[in-house]
Amino acid sequence: MAIRKEMGKYEPVKATDDCDLPNDTAVLINPGSVTLVSLSKHCNRTDEDLEMALPDSHSRSSLPLHNAAPAPSKVDDAQFSSTARPIHRSPEQCHRLVSLDVFRGITVALMIVVEYAGGVMPAINHSPWNGLTLADLVMPFFLFIVGVSLALAYKKIPSRGIATQKAVLRMLKLLFLGLFFQGGFLHGINNLTYGVDIQKIRWMGILQRIAIAYFLAALCEIWLKGSDYVNSEAALRRKYQWQLFVAVFLTTLYLVLSYGLYVPDWEYQVPSQTTTHLASSKILYVKCGTRGDTGPACNAVGMIDRKIFGTQHLYKRPVYARSEQCSINSPDSGPLPPDAPSWCQAPFDPEGLLSSVMAVVTCLVGLHFGHIIVHFKDHRDRMLHWIIPSSCLVLLAIGLDFLGMHINKVLYTVSYMSVTAGAAGLLLTGIYLMVDVYRWRRMCVVMEWMGKHALVIYILAACNVLPVVLQGFYWGQPQNNILRFIGIQT
């Protein structure tokens, strides 16, 4: 498809930091037509990497091709003097991409629903192994949104060094929050104690995975993109060709390691039910000696985590404990069947190292969708360039699953990455059509608010911070707490 004329001479629309400009500050955003606008300092800013100022897509202004004759100037040189008055744009035209906030809010709401209703309705809970459920969409949706946001936040980079420093600091912040809230320091409901044994701390987690994906995608956007001037479809491909190479390289690396590594027999310890003393622990052996296995026991994803972290630092409640082989109440949790295999009680981290490789690819897919927003100013063009790759990803996932590369959230298989990234793209298209095109914002105001405060809501709800705090207020005995008073069993 030929690139429309609007994409000819690309000058990045002012990004996040531009909202800090004082009122009545003239900003040149279209060199061809010398259009001056005013960005108000009242732009809503709460998160430096997730907010952005975008032009009003309903007032399209053509960007001439790079080799086209310059348009006649609409202002004389006097307008650039210190006493010149700029042309003002209404505050509504300096706005966030509302659909992205709504998408993020829907993902947060979905996370809360599956977190607290998944135990009651196993059908929406995470799949015990192969397959796709509602809960399995939450993590890739977050990663996809991070990628889109990065493309908008880094439209214009005055200093690559400073941008890299900020990306490092944000990554470290997410890593610290992940270790604190998901490493085991808070013992959760039913236990008012806190603290974590460093010998058993869980090193990986959801926020840690987001931190890794965010940082690598940010580095790609900061260092691995070409000139800002795009005047053809070929120039657009060249601009991001190294980012595409990174995505292909990571996917190839994942496939080679997943299907090429030899997984030997291994063992792990299960603490005795009567005492937690190491001497009373039971040692279980798991027989493997194979390559390319994608089952719960002998996959390369788990082997790499066991070798690098050790079983004591992995997630203690793996999803395969709810499988038919490991639970008599499958797909819900339950006692072990009499003939349960030895690996049923083994720890397994669903956010492990190798599976995080494909999580980075999901973030890079979101980055591509953000580039569509940057380069295409027409609603129809944007949605068309979202729908086509999203549909292709979904079809690719179906084909891979049919050929034996099953959709698996824990392993983060290529088919799982494809179907979830495709679903995220289609959902973003629908939300964009409803919110940013037809302006149906009132019905989404709650989701928009949740999207603007996603990290805080995640920490309070998904990390059990709010339930633990409420449970801390009791009378007489810890069992007589506020949660039980309002009907929540703890």
Q: In whole angstroms, give the CA distance from residue 464 to residue 10.
A: 46
Distances (CA, A) of 206 to 134, 179, 219, 359, 414: 17, 10, 20, 11, 19
pLDDT tens figures, 302-346 = 999 999 999 999 998 899 999 999 999 888 888 999 989 999 999
Q: Which tokens hold the place of 482?
A: 């506020």
Please name the residue that has the structure tokens 């993590």. Answer: 139
Q: Are 147 and 367 in contact (CB under 8 A)?
A: yes
Task: Give dist(CA 258, CA 432) in Å, integer.
Answer: 37
Measure the CA–CA gap between 449 and 464, rounded to whole angstroms.
21
So what's the pLDDT on residue 347?
Answer: 94
pLDDT tens-digit readout, 352-378: 999 999 999 999 999 999 999 999 989
Confidence class of residue 114 from pLDDT cuts 50, 70 and 90? confident
**What average pLDDT does this structure show over 448-458?**
87
Distance CA 27, CA 37 (A): 6
Produce one character per residue of 77-107: b if its CB has 16 or more CB atoms within 10 Å, e if not.
eebeeeeeebeebeeebbbbbbbbbbbbbbb
pLDDT tier at 407, thresholds 50, 70, 90: very high
**How do 282-286 and 35-38 pair as beta strands?**
unpaired
The mean per-residue pLDDT over the stretch 406-416 comes to: 97
Q: Give residue 469's pLDDT band: very low, low, confident or very high (50, 70, 90).
A: confident
Range in 191-200, 266-275, 462-471, 480-489 the model is least confident about: 480-489
263 or 12: which leads in pLDDT: 263
Per-residue pLDDT band at 186 (split at 50, 70, 90): confident
pLDDT at 116 > cutoff 50: yes
**Per-residue pLDDT averaged across 173-183, rounded?**
90
Rounded Cα distance, 399 and 406, in Å: 10
Rounded CA-CA distance 73/406 in Å is 58
Predicted confidence (pLDDT) per residue in 426-435, tens digit: 999 999 999 9
pLDDT-derived band at 275 (thresholds 50, 70, 90) equals: very low
What is the pLDDT averaged over residues 118-140?
87
Q: What is the pLDDT of residue 344?
A: 92
Backbone angles phi, psi at 283, to 5 degrees: -100, 125
